[in-house]
């Protein structure tokens, strides 16, 4: 079967998101919810792949996302969960409200993995020094030296037992239950948009513009369009929701809706 590309590659923007693009995405999802990621960029006025929009929303723009400043507890949790779950970052993220799988993954690779390797090496060296003299005689124990590396390799990334399908499905369930990382933005993200202060913190002044006060009205039926979104949403967006020339007015600052 030929896989359908996630989007038409031609003419789509890639790379770092601009504040304007963020703004458009947040505005659209806030107002209408994410009823279909692939079509969303078109209606939101974004020249982006739907996947890209989803990723941006899930990893950066979503409300209640914590960024940086991992607490000791969080670090311990990540290490512990990684030991038992392996590289199932989404499952790990489900246990850490406000953290995204991508961020945890990055944090693991940039911080925790190195630290763990260091610790294991250090602790093993300590063990070796204290025990080595009595053990060094046997060839068996010579191999103890090498398990340092193997221990590390075992813990990362292949150490966990292959997860059962139940685990996989439960992780999805956990994800929803945890509330912080539900993949269903229609049920989670949009209902939590009331607390947009969190988002406002994310991007500095941009997010503190009056836009939020006036535009984060969440209609009760924002989860999904009640009628065909093609009909419902397309026309207003060009005129009502989004400005074709962007939404920043040089004289007035951010425009209001």
Partner DNA sequence: AAGATAGGCAACCGCCACAGT
Partner DNA sequence: GACTGTGGCGGTTGCCTATCT
In the block, residue with structure tokens 């969190």: 198
Instruction: Report if residue 3 touches DNA, rule: CB under 7 A.
Output: yes
Smallest separation, CB 131 to DNA (Å): 31
Smallest separation, CB 31 to DNA (Å): 16
Span interacting with DNA, options 11-19, 145-153, 233-241, 242-250, rule CB under 7 A: 11-19
Question: CB neighbours of 101 closer than 8 A, spacing ≥ 6?
Answer: 89, 90, 92, 93, 181
Q: Count of CB atoms within 10 A of residue 141's CB? A: 14
Letters for 168-197 (x = contact with DNA by CB under 7 A, - = none) are xx--x--x-------xxx------------
Instruction: Report if residue 166 touches DNA, rule: CB under 7 A.
Output: no
Smallest separation, CB 144 to DNA (Å): 28
Of the candidates 195, 173, 197, the one whose C-alpha atom is nearest the C-alpha of residue 184 is 173
Strands 253-254 vs 248-249: parallel, antiparallel or unpaired: antiparallel
Contact of 4 with 20, CB cutoff 8 Å: no
Span interacting with DNA, options 25-33, 45-53, 203-211, 226-234, rule CB under 7 A: 45-53
Cis peptide before 157 (omega within 30 of 0): yes
Candidates 139, 140, 164, 165: give the one binding DNA (CB under 7 A): 165
Letters for 83-112 (x = contact with DNA by CB under 7 A, - = none) are ----xxxxx---------xxx-xxx-xxx-
Question: CB neighbours of 132 closer than 8 A, spacing ≥ 6?
Answer: none
* Alpha-carbon span 227 to 41, nearest angstrom: 18
Chain residues in the site for DNA (CB under 7 A): 1-4, 6, 13-17, 34-39, 48-52, 54-56, 58-60, 67-68, 87-91, 101-103, 105-107, 109-111, 114, 157, 165, 168-169, 172, 175, 183-185
């Amino acid at each position: 079967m030929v896989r359908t590309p996630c989007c038409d590659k031609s003419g789509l923007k890639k790379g770092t998101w601009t504040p304007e693009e963020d703004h458009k995405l947040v505005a659209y999802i806030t107002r209408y919810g994410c009823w279909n990621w692939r079509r969303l960029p078109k209606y939101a006025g974004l020249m982006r792949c739907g996947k890209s929009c989803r990723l941006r929303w899930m990893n950066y723009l979503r409300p209640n996302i914590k960024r940086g400043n991992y607490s000791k507890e969080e670090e311990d949790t990540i290490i512990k969960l990684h030991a038992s779950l392996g590289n199932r970052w989404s499952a790990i993220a489900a246990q850490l409200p406000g953290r995204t799988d991508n961020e945890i993954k990055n944090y693991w690779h940039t911080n925790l993995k190195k630290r763990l390797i260091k610790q294991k090496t250090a602790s093993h060296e300590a063990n070796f020094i204290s025990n080595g003299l009595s053990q060094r005689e046997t060839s068996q124990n010579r191999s103890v030296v090498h398990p340092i590396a193997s221990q590390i390799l075992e813990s990362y990334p292949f150490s966990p037992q292959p997860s059962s399908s139940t685990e996989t499905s439960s992780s999805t369930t956990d994800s929803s239950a945890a509330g912080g990382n539900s993949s269903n933005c229609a049920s989670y993200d949009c209902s939590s948009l009331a607390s947009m202060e969190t988002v406002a913190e994310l991007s500095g002044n941009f997010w503190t513009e009056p836009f939020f006060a006036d535009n984060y009205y969440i209609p009760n039926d924002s989860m999904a369009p009640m009628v065909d979104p093609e009909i419902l949403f397309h026309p207003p967006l060009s005129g009502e929701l989004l400005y074709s020339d962007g939404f920043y007015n040089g004289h007035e600052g951010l425009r209001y809706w």
